[in-house]
Amino acid sequence: MLISVIIPFYNTRECVRPLYDRLLTTLNRSGWQFELICVDDKSPQKDWEVIEDLAQADKRVKLVRLVRNFGQQAAISAGLAKSCGDWVVVMDADLQDKPEEIPNLLHKAMEGYNIVFALRGRRKDTWLKKLYSWMFHRMFKLLSGMETDTRIGNFGVYSRKVINAFLTLKEGFRGFNMLVSWLGFDYTCIDVDHQERIIGKSSYTFKKGLLLAMDAFVAFSDTPLKLTALSGFILAFISMLVGIIFLIRFFLGYTLLLGWTSLILSIWFLSGVIIMIMGIIGLYLGKIFAETKNRPHYLIDYTINIDE
């Protein structure tokens, strides 16, 4: 049985050797054959230089270097496309995902599951990151109807059947754990020990998280479009009722005093609603435009120890 471990690297140069040493110790002890597919997402810290040294000394270490920074999710897709394992492990490179948990995940998968997610019971992240993660998952569930869990990330074990199915999905959005959940294969979760990040700082900024959230909402749900249509109908209905009321008051002889304040507020309110609706529609049109171009999710500069 061959195990493929997929690890995207970006600004984690200092983590490369400690992660390799811990993976080697853990996987050698298990007795399984394995390959370590390291995807360098054009890291400014030149993570690829350290990975190259490891790959020259150990043929089980395989490097995929991307032409430019395509993002973590695209880097995971690049690694999955090059994997050959019967089982695939996806994990982060910052040592918050413990390599020592991999045997536990694999043993659980052998009980008959296609997917085993690592459940981070106590996330060792900042309170701000936990907060907007919780907000994203609540909003995502509301809009898409899909159950998600803030404690589940990319770290987990996936069967070859799952990975092959994932690779058939060609849309631009590459959110790995959300797309895998959408596939519908049987899965389970086990508790793992989530570590604090002790080397370097996370490059996953609030802005990147917000952009990923917007992509996820558009990719998985048309609820925002339905809400815009509903809000337009409600506003039109209210306007009709107000018009009828003022018409009745006119025939009853009431004097209508038209104020500048109410007029200006109405214009600003309705203009804001219209712009918001156009913006939401524009997001979907932009995604449609991006999909029609059919550009690749990533471009590979070169690979090491990978038989093309």
Asked whether residue 71 carries a pLDDT value surpassing 90, the answer given is: no
41 in the same domain as 24: yes
Question: pLDDT tens for residues 222-257?
Answer: 677 777 777 777 776 776 777 677 677 767 776 655
For residue 139, tell me if it sits in a domain.
no
**pTM (2 decimals)?**
0.73
Based on the fold, state whether residues 152 and 164 are members of the same structural domain. Answer: yes
174 and 282 co-located in one domain: no
Residue 185 lies in a domain: yes
In a domain, 212, yes or no: no
- Within-domain flag for 256: yes
Question: What pLDDT, on the 0 to 100 scale, is given for residue 258?
Answer: 60
Q: Identify the pLDDT of residue 103.
A: 93
In sequence order, what DSSP letters do the residues of 59-102 get, joined into one string? Answer: TTEEEEEESS---HHHHHHHHHHH---SEEEE--SSS-B-GGGH
Mean pLDDT of the chain: 81
- Checking if the pLDDT of 260 tops 70, the result is no
CA–centroid distance for 25 within its chain: 30
Candidate from 7-21, 196-210, 213-227 with smallest mean pLDDT: 196-210
How much is the pLDDT for 199?
A: 62
196 and 125 both lie in a single domain: yes
Percent of the chain clearing pLDDT 90 (strictly above)? 38
pLDDT for residue 148 is more than 80: no
Which carries the bigger pLDDT value, residue 215 or residue 68?
68
34, 90: one domain: yes
Answer yes or no: do 172 and 278 share one domain.
Answer: no
The string of pLDDT tens digits covering residues 13-34 is 999 999 999 999 999 888 889 9
- Per-residue pLDDT at 121: 66
Task: Output the pLDDT for position 204.
Answer: 57
Q: How many domains does the chain have?
A: 2
Q: Tell me if 96 is assigned to some domain.
A: yes
Q: Is it the case that residue 194 has pLDDT exceeding 80? A: no
Nearest-CA neighbor of 188 among 228, 209, 163, 158? 158
111-133 pLDDT per residue, tens: 989 999 988 766 555 656 666 66
* Pair 73, 159 in one domain: yes
Contact indicator for 165, 183 with CB cutoff of 8 Å: yes
Are 85 and 151 in a shared domain?
yes
Residue 10 domain-assigned? yes
Q: Which of 154-168, 192-206, 293-307 comes out lowest in average pLDDT?
A: 192-206
Asked whether residue 122 falls in the same domain as residue 239, the answer is no
CATH of the domain at 62: 3.90.550.10
The pLDDT of residue 98 is above 80: yes
What value does the mean pLDDT take over residues 38-62?
93
Are 284 and 172 in a shared domain? no
213 in any annotated domain? no
Residues 102 and 228 occupy one common structural domain: no
202 assigned to some structural domain: yes
Residue 232 belongs to what domain range?
223-293
Side by side, the strands of the sheet bearing 2-9 are 187-192, 115-120, 152-159, 87-90, 2-9, 33-40, 61-66, 300-304
